[in-house]
A = this chain, B = another copy of it.
Amino acid sequence: MRYPSGTRRNQLTRQSTTRNSTTNYSNRGMSLEDDIQQTNQFYLEVNKAVIHKKPTPIQIVNVHYPKRSAAVITEGYFQAKSTTDFNGVYRGKHIDFEAKETKNKTLFPLANIHEHQFIHMESVIEQDGICFFLIRFATYDETFFISAQLVLSFWEQMKQGGRKSIPYDVIKKDGYLIPFKYQTRVDYLHIVDQLYF
Contacts and interface: CB of A to CB of B under 8 A. Distances in A.
Interface of A: 2-6, 44, 47, 49-50, 52, 54-58, 60, 65-78, 82-83, 87-96, 120, 123-124, 126-129
Contacts of A4: 70
A77 B64 CA distance: 10
Nearest to A53: B57
A90 to B, nearest CB: 6
A76 B58 contact: yes
Contacts of A120: 50
- Counting every copy of the chain, the complex holds 2
A55 B58 contact: yes
A50 to B, nearest CB: 5
A61 B50 CA distance: 28
B54 A55 contact: yes
Nearest to A51: B127
28 contacts: A2-B71, A5-B66, A5-B67, A5-B68, A5-B70, A6-B71, A47-B123, A50-B120, A50-B124, A54-B55, A55-B56, A58-B76, A70-B77, A71-B77, A72-B75, A72-B76, A73-B73, A76-B76, A88-B94, A89-B96, A89-B127, A89-B128, A90-B127, A91-B127, A91-B128, A92-B94, A92-B128, A94-B95
